[in-house]
Every structure is written in structure tokens, then in C-alpha cells.
Chain A
Amino acid sequence: DAEITQSPRHKITETGRQVTLACHQTWNHNNMFWYRQDLGHGLRLIHYSYGVHDTNKGEVSDGYSVSRSNTEDLPLTLESAASSQTSVYFCASSIGRVDEQYFGPGTRLTVT
């Protein structure tokens, strides 16, 4: 069965380190999204991509970057982790821009 996976599921890192969170989907969806979820803020969009080599900033993109070298993967990089980036990160994909999004299980990131 097609699926969307994220790794690692849990990560603890130190302030200032570079961290990369992986997202892999096997649906062959063109659209992929990264969200973060914090208490009191719900889910907020970080970056998104409509296809290979396409990336776009979401509402909370500062301190994050993504690259899309193939259809299946959209890794999220924190250039220099900050305590404010402690959060749960969700990746999602969709076949069309307004179609249903399928979410991964999430990565819980703690920055100490």
C-alpha cells in the first residue's frame, strides 16, 4: 500500500546544530507540504512544493529550508536549530492542489 513516512520519529538536538527531517511518500503525488504543530497554534505551514525543483515558503518559513530533487522526498532542514523550533513536525502530500492531503505520523523535535 502507498504511504507517507517520516524519520526520525523523535529527535533531540542542541541549539545551533543543523537538523534534517525526512519525508517520503510512495503515492507519486506532486504536492508535498511541511507543517509544525504547537500547543495554542494548531498546524502552521512551513514550506511546500508542487513538484521536482519547486519550493515555496509558507507562513512560518524563517529558519527552515527544503529541496525537492525527486517526486518522493521533501526533506526539511533546520539550518541552526533554536529552542523556538521545538515542535511536532508533519509532512503531507496531495495529488492536486486542493485535493485531500495525506499526513505522515509526525516527528517530535526537541531543541535543548
Chain B
Amino acid sequence: DAKTTQPNSMESNEEEPVHLPCNHSTISGTDYIHWYRQLPSQGPEYVIHGLTSNVNNRMASLAIAEDRKSSTLILHRATLRDAAVYYCTLSSYNQGGKLIFGQGTELSVKP
């Protein structure tokens, strides 16, 4: 199974953009890149996902490298409520759609 590598922690200031990196050098052609976040004592929450092209939604943007070996989750204006653990995961149709979670990046946001 392809794995992902993320920094353990990152800090951001409120109302500034945040770029959360993820490396997935062993990604296969059928793997979708998913991002989830988890607040303390809650279940993971879906943020965004994509296959090859960059994606935008109301929560964030996903920038995918041309070779797909890395991606970046972009929070355009961090708020205190964005403080969470962010997980970059891969999901493959051939593997049944199961998500392989790494350790995630703990994002702290300073006022």
C-alpha cells in the first residue's frame, strides 16, 4: 500500500494562508489523494480529494504536483477553528477505497 509522509506539526497565524505538504512518492495511477482533519475527541472530517488536477472547495484547495508524488493542502485564511490534525491519505479503487492513514500534521493556529 502506498504511504504518505507529513510533517508532525506546523504553526500558523490567524487569517494567514497555510500550506500543508504531503509526500506520496509510491502513489499509483489509480490512487486518489484525500485530506481529512480531526479535532480533539471527534471523528475525522473530510476536507478535499483529487486525482490529478488541482481542486478547490469551500474549505480548502488541493494542489497536486505534476508527477503526483506530492500534494499540498491550502487553507486560504486560517482561523482558530482550523486547529486540528490534518491527514493526507490515499484511496484506490483497486484497493477497495480503503484509506491508509499516516500520523498526520498537527496544525496550531495563533491569534
In angstroms, Cα B44 to Cα A96, docked, is 18
Q: Is there an interface contact between A43 and B46, defined as CB atoms closer than 8 Å?
A: no
Q: How far is the CA of A43 from the CA of B36 in the complex (A)?
A: 12
CA distance A106 to B36 in the complex (A): 15
Binds A, one of B9-17, B60-68, B74-82, B99-107: B99-107
Smallest CB gap from A103: residue in B: B43
Q: Is the interface of A mostly helix, strand, loop or mixed?
A: strand
Instruction: Assess whether B46 is in contact with A101, with CB atoms less than 8 Å apart.
Output: yes
CB-CB nearest in chain A for B31: A98
Q: Is A56's beta carbon under 8 Å from chain B? A: yes
Asked if A103 meets B87 with Cβ closer than 8 Å, knowing A43-B99, A97-B97, the reply is no
Q: Which residues in A have some Cβ–Cβ distance to B below 8 Å?
A: 31, 33, 35, 42-45, 48, 50, 56, 58, 90, 92, 94, 96-106
**19 other contacts beyond A98-B93, A105-B42, with CB at 8 A cut-off?**
A31-B97, A33-B99, A42-B101, A42-B104, A45-B100, A50-B96, A56-B96, A94-B97, A98-B32, A98-B91, A98-B97, A99-B49, A99-B97, A100-B34, A101-B99, A103-B36, A103-B44, A106-B41, A106-B42
